[in-house]
């Protein structure tokens, strides 16, 4: 039987009325920000299900903007997120949308323009108690909870790539806790999600990028 902590029962420390619609929203946005490599230039925030219906009343809009600016769920500055976004020059829109019945009712899709003018999409859900799950990055299916340091790479689906990336991490004494590989088609682009016990420095990411079949790699810090 699963053991429950007091935080599973009471919910996380947070600003706002709802663990799913405020704390979860903040953590989703923090993860999206981390995937994007920092505060975006612009972001379209697409709200599905109950988020679309209650995002203003439950303060989800404030939590989402706050997370994109790097504010945690317990940061009282979330209440001033609109002014802070304006000061930071963050352009944003909130749009209710129906993504379909296959998506969790507390789902947000971020369409992000990064500081480097890169376009990144991140889709995830607030699954209760402040817990979240990122399910898509750039329309590739993933599973990312944000509890552990995470390395995400896109690579050509050919033999040996996973072994090469794993070897580089091992040479730097970075232990892999969990690994998942996702692909749409055989021998096309695949996405690998590696959760580790240690932070992955930029020098190691640069080394992984030298693997011929690796297209890109990014690191997501735990939240």
End-to-end CA distance of the chain: 26
Q: Name the DSSP class of 165.
A: H
Q: Are 190 and 182 in contact (CB under 8 A)?
A: yes
Q: Which residues pair with 46 in a beta bridge?
A: 95, 109
* Cα radius of gyration (the chain): 18
As a whole number, mean pLDDT of residues 140-154 equals: 93
CATH architecture of 6-138: 2-Layer Sandwich (3.30)
Per-residue pLDDT tens digits for 169-214: 999 999 999 999 998 889 999 999 999 999 999 999 999 999 999 9
Per-residue pLDDT tens digits for 91-116: 999 999 999 999 999 999 999 999 89
The domain segmentation of the chain, as residue ranges, is: 6-138, 150-220
Any residues with CB less than 8 A from the CB of 12 and at least 6 apart, and which? 19, 23, 73, 74, 129, 130
Tokens representing residue 202 in the block: 């930029």
**79/140 Cα distance (integer angstroms):** 33
pLDDT of 14 higher than 50 = no
CATH architecture of 150-220: 2-Layer Sandwich (3.30)
């Amino acid at each position: 039987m699963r053991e429950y902590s007091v935080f599973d029962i009471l919910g996380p420390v947070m600003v706002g009325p709802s663990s799913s619609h405020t704390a979860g929203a903040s953590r989703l946005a923090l993860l999206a920000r981390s995937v994007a490599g920092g505060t975006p230039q612009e972001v379209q925030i697409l709200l599905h299900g109950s988020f679309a219906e209650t995002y203003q009343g439950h303060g989800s809009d404030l939590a989402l903007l706050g997370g994109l600016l790097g504010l945690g769920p317990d940061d009282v500055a979330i209440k001033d997120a609109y002014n802070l976004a304006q000061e930071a020059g963050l352009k944003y829109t909130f749009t209710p949308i129906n993504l379909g019945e296959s998506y969790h009712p507390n789902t947000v899709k971020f369409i992000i323009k990064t500081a480097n003018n890169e376009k990144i999409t991140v889709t995830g859900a607030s699954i209760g108690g402040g817990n979240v799950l990122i399910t898509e990055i750039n329309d590739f299916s993933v599973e990312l909870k944000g509890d552990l340091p995470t390395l995400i790479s896109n690579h050509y689906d050919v033999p040996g790539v996973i072994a090469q990336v794993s070897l580089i991490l091992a040479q730097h004494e970075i232990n892999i806790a969990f690994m998942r590989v996702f692909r749409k088609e055989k021998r096309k682009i695949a996405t690998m999600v590696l959760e580790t016990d240690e932070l992955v420095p930029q020098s190691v990411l640069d080394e992984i990028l030298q693997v011929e079949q690796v297209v890109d790699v990014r690191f997501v810090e735990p939240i």
